[in-house]
Structure 1
């Protein structure tokens, strides 16, 4: 069975839960399985942190797609909410994560705003926008601002720069303090390019 760091294959999750892989695959396609998979080279994997949380019983009974849909529905109603209600009506509490990729990205963003490529380097993966969407689903705003730039061919472009808001920083500080969480140290290799802009 092939392994990928920080991810476990569908067969492993099925065995751990005492279910057939087909039943999990079916539940995922119906949107009733509590965690969402990722596809790598045509194979189905789950984030190890999500699978461990599922086995511990940390997930509520609401399927992952329903949780994501409720955030989308709240975003549609944002014009009716006061600014104090939070961006897109999201909870004003960061629900936390044990995923090492997310923790490395949070350490980077606490140090400074970062471009998508820097997010990818810090995470050790090439799915920065998806990772940032997952952090938003956990309760962060983490806006992406387009900035004017010139690419290596001398053409104008507008890359996105992710940053944490003041509210994000407060939520992270409360979460880390309440759970005695320490983020990875911010080292030059975390920035990938030594922190140069």
Structure 2
């Protein structure tokens, strides 16, 4: 029977947890919406190093900056993040949607339309599943990337670079998981999904 540990850093890493999940098991978290950001990851051996894992990343209650036409500060932004590494398949699914806010979804100053083609901004997607799955990680992980850590994760060695073009080491991640955030572009989080604040989310490992 497969088992893994799931880790949580929430509220600027103030809250930290690590818990065991057995196959088909689940763990329910009730987090205060005022905790603005956090990450969740999985690791079969219980690795606490989030930089060696596929990450579910959340920014809750994103505050829209001027102009006021952007709408109220009632959007969550979430994504699958492989800017640092990939170790396990992961899928984020919104459930029990929060109240739909008035105004347009917003992300930066000024408002950016959905599926913006502006290369200086990330692509935003509506309230939908976000997922990443890479098969045969040993064959996938080639230089400049490398396998490392107790999970034998593939480290995205150039994912932290802030460049207009995709860093060479991040290209395989972007091709394998185009809906994931694979490098630190000029946007705050890279590829992003949004839902109304108050939405619940299901995070599935090894889906």
TM-score by length of 1: 0.25
Q: Greater helix percent: which structure?
A: 1
State the structure with bigger RCO (CA 8 A, min sep 6), 1 or 2.
Answer: 2
TM-score by length of 2: 0.25
Q: Greater strand percent: which structure?
A: 2
Larger Rg, first or second structure (1 or 2)? 1
